[in-house]
Amino acid sequence: MRKEYIDRQKREFGRKVVISLPIHYPKEILTALDVLCVELWGPPGEISGNQAGRIQTYVCPVVRKALAFIAGGHASEADALLFPHTCDSIQGLASLLPDFGGWNGPVLRFIHPKGERRASSEVYLVREIEAFIAQVETLTGKKLEPARLSSAVKLHAEIDALKLRILKLRRNIDMRDSELYAILRRGEWLWPEDHMAELKELASKISDKPQKKGVALMLSGIVPEPMDIFDVLENAGAFIVADDYAAIGRRISSSSAELPDNPLQAVIERYFALPPCSTRSSDLAGRVEYLTGLYSQNGAAGLVLHNVKFCEPEMFDVAMIKKRFAAMNSPVLYVETELEKQLSGQLSTRLEAFVEMASKGGESE
Ligand code: SF4
């Protein structure tokens, strides 16, 4: 399905295709220059080929599986690869890939500023985005028109506003969390207008009364894989009421309302209005404040910290988050997964036990 869709985007619309590693990059620029972005989160499931074994086993599975995928020649439909400098592991992959083969095409890079907004990071980001525009212009052979960038910014701001509304009112949607996340995650590879159409359809299902019953949980982590985590939690009597996945909630910019007329400045504003994220080295105290706010505003009764195994940026924040939630007497469960096809029986049992404990207002594991 995904391959057919990509082929059609190239054939019918003449779009270039960029395969991007996670997480943050200025998608508005790609849209404005008619580039379909397809994100590579692993991919999940069995590793095809033996290339993953060429990186140490203590490197996260997102990177090891991406290496196996690309070095196995499976990225051939792409016109370029994009490496945002998310973490040391992705930067390492970008350096090693030429030696391991499987990709000889163009490579784009985006190095986002780390830490909080300040005068120097604003100047840096403007230059970095200008450099990114130049890379994409070279790839496409097109010049970025300000009017096209304005339309792309508007479109992505509308998508974010709709996603925010859906996540805020998700209790009122009569749909399993696994189905809801499947729709949200299609934004990782659909053309933004197609994604918008699906989100509008999803938003039309918001009713005026809550449709969910059970133990309300907040989930935080990098990416919701394996996706059956939602079914395990739901079957145990829980539902998700707040999201802090880097793949989902942390990429929704809240600056949708009043954006500057200058489209490049609007891209900058949208970037700095993203929620805190470990991979952008957001201030930890600020991130903890943000998480406790998200938790209490949405009436969550427990927090599941769902990390990708060996994800260092995310791991650095865990101790402080656990400490703060423990001080609030809020139940917290920390779990790690490896982009496997499905959750292990042992992990499912831990999640079920946590739901039961959270239903009684129990303590953290
Ligand atoms: S899971 Fe963590 S370590 Fe792995 S690529 Fe993503 S941010 Fe980097």
In terms of pLDDT, which residue wins out, 72 or 90?
A: 90
Pocket test for ligand 1, best of 39, 223, 248, 279 (most atoms within 8 A of CB): 279
Record: fold of 2-139: Rossmann fold (3.40.50)
pLDDT of residue 365 exceeding 60, the answer is no
Closest to 230 (Cα-Cα) out of 331, 351, 336: 351
149-167: pLDDT as tens digits = 999 999 999 999 999 999 9
**Residue 184 and residue 248 in contact, taking contact as beta carbons nearer than 8 Å:** yes
Pocket test for ligand 1, best of 40, 56, 91, 222 (most atoms within 8 A of CB): 222
Residue nearest (by alpha carbon) to ligand 1 atom 2: 311
Pair of tokens at residue 30 = 């790609």
Q: What's the gap in Å between 174 CA and the centre of ligand 1?
A: 33
Determine the atom of ligand 1 nearest the C-alpha atom of 63.
5
Determine the atom of ligand 1 nearest the C-alpha atom of 88.
8
Structure confidence at residue 74 (pLDDT): 87
53-80: pLDDT as tens digits = 678 888 999 999 999 889 888 898 899 9
The mean pLDDT of 328-354, rounded to a whole number, is 96
Ligand 1 binding pocket (C-beta < 6 A) is 22, 60, 62-63, 86-87, 89-90, 222, 279, 308, 311-314
The mean pLDDT of 101-110, rounded to a whole number, is 90
The rounded distance, in Å, linking the Cα atoms of 337 and 340 is 7
Structure confidence at residue 99 (pLDDT): 81
Structure confidence at residue 53 (pLDDT): 67
Residues whose CB falls within 8 Å of the CB of residue 358, separated by 6 or more in sequence, listed in order: 215, 217, 238, 301, 302, 331
The mean pLDDT of 305-325, rounded to a whole number, is 97
pLDDT of residue 176 exceeding 80, the answer is yes
Structure confidence at residue 363 (pLDDT): 54
Structure confidence at residue 42 (pLDDT): 84
The rounded distance, in Å, linking the Cα atoms of 75 and 101 is 12
The rounded distance, in Å, linking the Cα atoms of 31 and 43 is 23
Structure confidence at residue 364 (pLDDT): 52
Determine the atom of ligand 1 nearest the C-alpha atom of 312.
3
Pocket test for ligand 1, best of 58, 64, 89 (most atoms within 8 A of CB): 89
Structure confidence at residue 362 (pLDDT): 61
Helix axes 177-185, 228-235, angle to 10 degrees: 160
Q: What's the gap in Å between 273 CA and the centre of ligand 1?
A: 22
Determine the atom of ligand 1 nearest the C-alpha atom of 90.
5
Residue nearest (by alpha carbon) to ligand 1 atom 8: 87
Closest to 113 (Cα-Cα) out of 126, 127, 125, 131: 125
Q: What's the gap in Å between 311 CA and the centre of ligand 1?
A: 5
Structure confidence at residue 360 (pLDDT): 87
1-57: pLDDT as tens digits = 788 999 999 999 999 999 999 999 999 999 999 999 999 998 887 766 666 667 888
DSSP per-residue letters across 293-345: HHHHHTT-S-EEEEEETT-HHHHHHHHHHHHHHHHTT--EEEEEE-S-SS--H
Q: What's the gap in Å between 52 CA and the centre of ligand 1?
A: 15
Residue nearest (by alpha carbon) to ligand 1 atom 1: 311
pLDDT of residue 84 exceeding 90, the answer is yes
The mean pLDDT of 221-234, rounded to a whole number, is 97
Domain ranges of the chain: 2-139
Write down the mean pLDDT value for the chain.
Answer: 94
262-306: pLDDT as tens digits = 999 999 999 999 999 999 999 999 999 999 999 999 999 999 999
Structure confidence at residue 104 (pLDDT): 87
Structure confidence at residue 47 (pLDDT): 65
Is 115 exposed, middle or buried (CB count within 10 Å of its CB: 0-12, 13-18, 19+)? exposed
Check whether the bond before 159 is cis (ω within 30° of 0).
no
The rounded distance, in Å, linking the Cα atoms of 207 and 169 is 9
Pocket test for ligand 1, best of 55, 56, 60, 305 (most atoms within 8 A of CB): 60
